[in-house]
């Protein structure tokens, strides 16, 4: 943890300094930005392990910056720092790919605990799984594509690749819909967006060449969730 790099994108100088000081004291290597432009350049051009992102920034919306990050660095962990307490704002950020959020005013202890938790979970991102072999081909998650045995190549969306990686790492275990919502979609399980998840599974199966009527790679376990069965 002592060498992890955390970028703080926050327009309030007092809050930014307090967060940077707390991170430094805890052993992280913090850097900082106070505007949309500075934050975008720092996050996209320079290496870091996690971003703390304010939603209200001079020169742009933090949610727009989050969209850019998800395109440019899809596996980079992001925690939203926001004074917006309404659930719809928090949910929007989570849907765009934020890993967690902290509502201002927040305690330093809470923030540091969330940083540590998100960094632990980030080890489960799809970048940690290079290739997934299955009956019929191989999924190259670094390239976000599937190569079928017949030579055809099919592109994977970010969410399809992340879902496949998560299931593949747990091959042979049934993964519940609630777990997938929280860990892949990063949404509270009680929101119950299972239709979005199920449609992603349908598209993933199509790209895997998996028979929708009798799937052999991504199985549905009725009332429980999904099960990945790899090669063989």
Where do the domains of the chain lie, and which CATH numbers do they carry? 5-124 (3.40.50.2300), 127-228 (1.10.10.10)
Q: How far is residue 83's CA from residue 102's CA, in Å, rounded to a whole number?
A: 9
Confidence of residue 12 (pLDDT cuts 50, 70, 90): very high
Q: How confident is the model at residue 128 (pLDDT cuts 50, 70, 90)?
A: very low
Please determine, for residue 54, whether its predicted confidence score (pLDDT) is greater than 70.
yes
**Backbone conformation region of residue 172, classed left if phi is above 0, alpha if psi is from -120 to 50, else beta:** left
The pLDDT of residue 110: 93
Stretch 40-45: mean pLDDT, rounded?
Answer: 89
| Residue carrying structure tokens 């929007």 | 92
How high is the pLDDT of residue 39?
95
Q: Enter the pTM of the model.
A: 0.57
Residue 43: pLDDT over 50: yes
């Amino acid at each position: 943890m002592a060498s992890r790099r955390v970028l703080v994108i926050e327009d309030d100088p007092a809050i930014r300094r307090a967060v940077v000081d707390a991170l430094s004291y805890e052993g992280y290597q913090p850097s900082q930005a106070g505007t949309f432009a500075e934050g975008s350049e720092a996050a996209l051009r320079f290496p870091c392990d996690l971003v703390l992102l304010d939603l209200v920034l001079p020169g742009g919306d933090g949610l727009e910056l989050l969209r850019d990050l998800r395109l440019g660095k899809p596996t980079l962990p992001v925690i939203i720092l926001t004074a917006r307490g309404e659930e719809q704002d928090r949910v929007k950020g989570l849907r765009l790919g934020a890993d967690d959020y902290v509502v201002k005013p927040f305690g330093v202890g809470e923030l540091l605990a969330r940083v540590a938790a998100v960094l632990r979970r980030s080890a489960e991102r799809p970048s940690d799984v290079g290739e997934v072999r299955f009956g019929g081909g191989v999924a190259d998650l670094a390239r976000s594509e599937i190569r079928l045995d017949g030579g055809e190549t099919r592109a994977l969306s970010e969410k399809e690749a992340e879902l496949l990686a998560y299931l593949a790492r747990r091959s042979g275990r049934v993964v519940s819909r609630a777990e997938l919502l929280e860990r892949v979609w990063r949404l509270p399980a009680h929101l119950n967006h299972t239709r979005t998840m199920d449609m992603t599974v349908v598209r993933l199966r199509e790209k895997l060449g998996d028979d929708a009527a009798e799937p052999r790679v991504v199985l549905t376990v009725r009332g429980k969730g999904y099960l990945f069965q790899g090669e063989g």
